[in-house]
Structure 1
Amino acid sequence: MDRDFGTLPGARDMRAYVARFVAQLTERNRLPLDYSVASLRIVDFVVDGLRRNEPERAQVEEVLSGLGAYAGEVIVRRAGGRWVDFDTEQRAFFGQPVGVRMPDGRAWNPLGKVVNRFEAGSDEESVQRLYLLLHGRARRTVSC
């Protein structure tokens, strides 16, 4: 993975960041990351695959950030959320600089969910499950 994915951008630039990440990842691995809810299952599988060799988190941090950003972009596109920059308190709580705010005002942390899946390896930390249990989704799919 190239180093340009090591630092997360602000909320305004997340869509472009995710597009670059997806283009690079799918070029090498032909993963069907199509921004669908079903593709979140692939994110879970990729994270599980990263865990197999038991690397240190720092060794895979860039990929985890990209996968978490992708999961967030799916929430933005499919559930009506929007990227937001977390304030200092939220950054401390979530451990991430950006997240997704839903139409009902709730903030969600898909980047942290991917990290939790990597660290815990539990189905309870599924990104797809996060989406399916997500409170505050828009009633209709948001097309982009």
Structure 2
Amino acid sequence: MTAQQETRPHAAAKPVRWAADTVATMREGARVRLDYSAQSLWRVDRMIEEIRREGPPYAAVGNVLRGFGAYAGEVIVRQSGAEWWATGADHWVRTPDGRLWDPIDEARRVYDGHGSLRLLCRDATGAGH
């Protein structure tokens, strides 16, 4: 197995970059500081809801949602010792208990009015128990 084939470095590369880009964009463009805390996901859920209320087509916000989902996934990774997993273009977070979570899809669900990155993080990290 080469270094490129190892799961964590390869699988994490893109979502970690998407998350970092989102943090930088929010700080510079929206003056919103995201600190990789579970509490910051309240703000992310609200920002996605505000975008939805403005009514842009999904194609116009797909990359933004991907970034918010990657950010939420990175919060889960940092809070719980989880790791990123990838298959093709899909990225999941695998928590130490072996469960797989899809924060990028959850960001899309928030945009559709049916999800919550904050609750996903709570469930994935066991913070609500």
TM range (shorter): 0.7 to 0.9
The equivalent of 1:32 in structure 2 is: 33
Percent of matched pairs sharing the same residue: 38
Kindly state the Cα deviation for residue 53 of structure 1 after the two structures are TM-superposed: 1.8
Matches of 2:53 and 2:41, distance apart in 1? 19
Matches of 1:80 and 1:57, distance apart in 2? 32
Which amino acid in 1 is paired with 2:63?
Answer: E
Write 1 or 2 for the structure with the bigger share of helix: 2
The question of 1:106 aligning with 2:107 is answered no
The equivalent of 1:12 in structure 2 is: 12
TM-score for both structures, normalised by structure 2: 0.82
Kindly state the Cα deviation for residue 22 of structure 1 after the two structures are TM-superposed: 1.1
Stretches (4+) displaced over 6 A: none
Q: Using a 3 Å threshold, how does the CA distance of structure 1 residues 64 and 11 change in structure 2: closer, same or farther?
A: same
The equivalent of 2:52 in structure 1 is: 51
The question of 1:132 aligning with 2:122 is answered yes
Q: Please, which runs of 5 or more residues in structure 1 have no aligned partner?
A: 1-9, 88-95, 140-144
Kindly state the Cα deviation for residue 103 of structure 1 after the two structures are TM-superposed: 0.5
The equivalent of 2:22 in structure 1 is: 21
Q: Using a 3 Å threshold, how does the CA distance of structure 1 residues 138 and 118 change in structure 2: closer, same or farther?
A: closer
Matches of 2:62 and 2:81, distance apart in 1? 27
Does the 8 A contact of 1:75 with 1:81 survive in 2? yes
TM-score for both structures, normalised by structure 1: 0.74
* Helix, strand or coil at the partner of 1:133: helix
Matches of 2:21 and 2:54, distance apart in 1? 26
Q: CA RMSD in A?
A: 1.9
Kindly state the Cα deviation for residue 138 of structure 1 after the two structures are TM-superposed: 7.8
The equivalent of 2:82 in structure 1 is: 81
Aligned residue-pair number? 117
